Amino acid sequence: MENPHAERQNVLLQRIMKNADKCTEAILELNRCLEEIVQADAHVKTAADLVTKYRKNVQYNLEATRSAAPSQS
């Protein structure tokens, strides 16, 4: 005669393993999605850096133009 406790424990362990597998698959999918986001963000960061440098150059040139222009009194 089989032990009903051992049989119940076996069923529970199988459910735990199945749920752990599903959880692992979900985490792997999340990691793939996050990697895509990181790659997309790299392009956004590059564009933001370029815009920041452009703004600084414009600001520098505006200040240089203002200081070189004769004062109006």
Does 70 reside within a domain? no
Does 48 reside within a domain? yes
Does 18 reside within a domain? yes
Does 71 reside within a domain? no
Which pLDDT band, with edges at 50, 70 and 90, does 1 fall under? Answer: low
- How far CA 19 is from CA of 28, 37, 53, in Å, comes to 14, 27, 50
Q: Cα separation of 14 and 2, whole Å?
A: 18
Place of tokens 């150059």: 57
pLDDT of residue 69: 76
Q: What b/e readout covers 11-21, taking b as 16+ CB neighbours within 10 angstroms?
A: eeeeeeeeeee
- Domain containing 9 equals 1-64
Does 69 reside within a domain? no
Taking residues 24-30, what's their average pLDDT?
98
pLDDT of residue 73: 53
Does 57 reside within a domain? yes
- How many domains are there within the chain? 1
Does 4 reside within a domain? yes
Q: Cα separation of 45 and 72, whole Å?
A: 42
pTM strictly above 0.75: no
